[in-house]
Amino acid sequence: MLGMGAKRHMNDTMTGIIISSTSRCTLEPIAFQPIDPITGEYLSVKLTQKLFGDRDDFMTPEEPDTEAGPSLLFDVPQSELTGYEEFAEDDFVVYHQKLGVIRAIEHDAVLLLPNSEVVSPLSPAALELPLCADPKVTVSMPETKCRDLGNGRFVRTMYTEDIQPGQSVLIDPSNIYRSKLSAEYRGRSIQAHMLAAPIEEIHIDWLCPNVFSSKPQERGPNCEVLRLSTLQGNAVKCDFAQPSGEKSLASGSQSMLAIGERVRFRDPPDAATKYPGYQHLRLDETFGHDLNIFRIASTKTEVVVRWQDGSCTTEATVSLRRYDAPEDHLWPGKYVVLKEGVMTVTESLPGFSHSRATETLQVQKCGVIQAVDNREQIASVRWFRNSGTELIYKGSALDPRSSLGELEETAAKVSVYELAIFPAFNRSLNDLVVLAPSTIDQTAISSSHAQESVISSPTKSSSAHDTFPRYADYLQTIKSAMVESEWFKKSTTIRAPQLRRRYSIQSNESTLSVDFVGKIVAMDLNGEITVRLPGHNNCRDIRVPLERIMMVIPSDDQIPNESLVTTYGGNPDEDSTDSEWDTEDESDGSVNSDELSPSTRAADFGSLEEVATPTKYEVQFDRPQLPCERIPVAGDISIPRIDFPAPTSCPPNFAVLEDLPPSDHYFINHRYTGSLSTCMNRLRKEYEVLKSSLPSGIFVRTWESRIDLLRVMMIGPEGTPYEHAPFVIDFTFTPDFPSQPPLAFFHSWTDGQGRINPNLYEDGKICLSILGTWPTRNLDESWIPGKSTVLQILVSIMGLVLVKAPFYSMFYLSTRCLRY
């Protein structure tokens, strides 16, 4: 949630960004001890979720709900909670000064049978989850099986890997050691409770090392499977919601927990004193397994939103609307540059067998947005005093030798059209970042150690999934240049190496000390960035300048083949020729990469003495402006262009694709109440017409797997305000087609700044009589089954909507458009 865009309502032109959040939860224990109403004594432990039986062909609780259930815990701050498992999938961990991400966890299972027997299945993956759903009110059901419980009772189940402690499950008798199974359960499916799911093995993908570690980094596997005992006490889980031991520099920067998740209290003794309904269950009462686990029953979240005008308000999340802002959206706290002050220089890099040029951008004015006036399109910016900041590789990264310095005291008013955003400054809240620590050992930057710790660049045979060596090579190159810079020498404390006894096994660097990776939890208007560092017991917040952030770890597992990692010496693209790349086995003898010293490696970024005379205005910012387009920032920059071969032919106007439709298709999850078989013949005829009759500028795609979906891209006609602009429209055909026209959705790109056309709404509506969304007295203009076609719809949009004078369109005179 941190860093997410928000609006008060969808038509609001003012947007904001969530800078902090606080949540309070209602918790339900998965197990509890009921109290005898007569004696007042505690009875044996019971699981909260009841076993299930079959009634009226759908799942209902087997036992009548006459007993008192567990006491709920109300108004529990989320900061007091953590996941019920020590490690979970998608957690980031630091182990032996390496950052990795947990991709998969293999669990065992411990089950509690109704007769209080505790058993383990032979295959935990074969456990089945009973479903509780009434088919009379259920729209869709997953693939299920019908299991016999005996005595004429049946239950519907499904396989799932996500079974958590306390849940009711079904197990086949053949999945249990027969010697451990009572005779009463043989021959039929068995109902049971999941008592525990112990972690067996953890699959980790390593992402990058700490290149400032005092110990040489050994080349190891990119992926490992480790036992839980290996990580316990030796690895640090990146739990950034963990409360700091000292006062936090960022208020309420916690990740969200979803309803239904299992959690534990971080401090159970403290919870027992704060919440009267809390029952602490002893291990001897729960078969030796810790069942002090709670299910989140409900949440209430408040967030602090920093709006574009610079104001901050506290809002309930239910009163806000999510806004997926583009990367070039302007918010207070964002870094921007003045377009006028951008120059390019071309420098030749040593270390390559051929001449390879690198475009470096010199930025004369860089600053931080303080506020944005949407109505006047004016931004308030505080500029950094330093001039001549350099961005390498066409603005994708900050030159490690550059420093932004301090901000000016006063803010200047600048038109948003004079500002640009480069990827080098694109840092966002909730980003996981790799840092250059402010205190390092002398051995981390010594020449001998630097030579030892350098990991060779991946060769052309490297796998695209070899993330670790690619990131390691990139970070090592950044480090080599950074340690030679003046700002690094002035702001970094160099520790003298600690002396150790000859046979000492103690390390001079704690394996549980993490200072090279953290999460951005605050971006101040003074240019400072607050990063939360993980720790074994507590995490801590530090403030760092932008130049100390070496890279941002992607949120997904996609290897950035065309990112900086490749640019700095990674694998060539598949389309590149062999002559354009050097590997460890290829060289023309001009420069031996193995002989490069750290200072020479730093020169790989280029030396100012070697560059050509800067040429101003080589960065091209001008491009045709589209109607109602708000802020031409990052998307408006045509930085030194790369020449690609011109296509030999235009793509076909109509095509049926074999792959899956895109996930952002508006109707991809649309559910029908009837069958599409009745309209398939008509669809085939429509597609034949489109294949042969589409005019230029209209491109239509459908998919073999979803023939009921269309995606259309129209190129704005020449001579109109929309010339060369792309318009993307999604269509879907319902079972009542062709009796009714298809449904349509327009993908607006105005960022909440209004309609680009009176007939094209920001919420996706298209106001057109043939679509049934515009009232008309002329029936010939409406959809006529058996006569109207999809081609007619597309030509109508192109000819009646994307016109030269849209303001005078007859549709504009109407006060409203019919709803779908």
Residue type, 105: I
Phi then psi for 423, rounded to 5 degrees?
-55, -25
Q: Give the DSSP H or E segment for 476.
A: helix 467-482
Cβ-count burial of 143 within 10 angstroms (0-12 exposed, 13-18 middle, 19+ buried)?
exposed
Q: How crowded is the C-beta side of 792, counted as CA atoms within 13 Å?
A: 16
Q: With beta carbons less than 8 A apart as the criterion, state whether 632 and 363 touch.
A: no
Cβ-count burial of 780 within 10 angstroms (0-12 exposed, 13-18 middle, 19+ buried)?
exposed
What does the alpha-carbon distance between residue 361 and residue 374 come to, in Å, rounded to a whole number? Answer: 29
Q: Which of 439, 430, 473, 422 is nearest to 217 (CA)?
A: 473
User: Quick one: pLDDT at residue 358?
Assistant: 56
* Mode of pairing for the β-strands spanning 5-7 and 16-29: antiparallel
Mean pLDDT for each 10-residue chunk of the chain (820 residues)? 86 88 91 85 85 50 60 90 89 91 90 86 84 65 70 73 84 74 69 89 91 76 89 87 56 69 91 89 89 92 91 91 84 90 66 45 90 88 84 84 88 90 87 90 63 35 62 88 89 76 48 82 89 84 90 62 38 37 37 34 33 37 34 35 53 89 88 74 88 90 90 91 91 88 90 81 87 76 86 90 73 42
Q: SS3 for 557?
A: coil
User: Quick one: pLDDT at residue 568?
Assistant: 36
pLDDT in tens, 797-817: 988 888 887 765 544 434 344
Residues 6+ apart with CB under 8 A from 278: 73, 271, 272
Tokens of 550: 């070496």
Which DSSP string do the residues of 356-389 spell out, in sequence order? Answer: -EEEEEEES-EEEEEEEETTTTEEEEEEBS---E
User: Quick one: pLDDT at residue 745?
Assistant: 93
Q: Which of 360, 364, 361 is nearest to 338 (CA)?
A: 364
Q: With beta carbons less than 8 A apart as the criterion, state whether 154 and 77 touch.
A: no
Length of the chain, in residues: 820
Q: Which residues have a catalytic role annotated? A: 767
Within its chain, how far is the Cα of 380 from the centroid? 30
Within its chain, how far is the Cα of 256 from the centroid? 14
pLDDT in tens, 476-492: 888 888 888 888 988 88
Residues 6+ apart with CB under 8 A from 500: 506, 508
The domains found in the chain, sorted by start residue, are: 5-34+69-86+245-303 (no CATH), 100-209+223-237 (no CATH), 335-427+610-636 (no CATH), 432-496+508-602 (no CATH), 654-813 (3.10.110.10)
Handedness of CA 596, 601, 606, 609 (dihedral sign): negative
What does the alpha-carbon distance between residue 551 and residue 467 come to, in Å, rounded to a whole number? Answer: 14
Alpha helices in 770-809 (DSSP H): 790-796
pTM above 0.85, yes or no: no
Which DSSP string do the residues of 593-651 spell out, in sequence order? Answer: GGG--HHHHHGGG--GGGSPPPEET-SB---PPPTT----SGGG-B-SPPP-PPPSSPP
Q: Which of 11, 635, 5, 563 is nearest to 333 (CA)?
A: 5
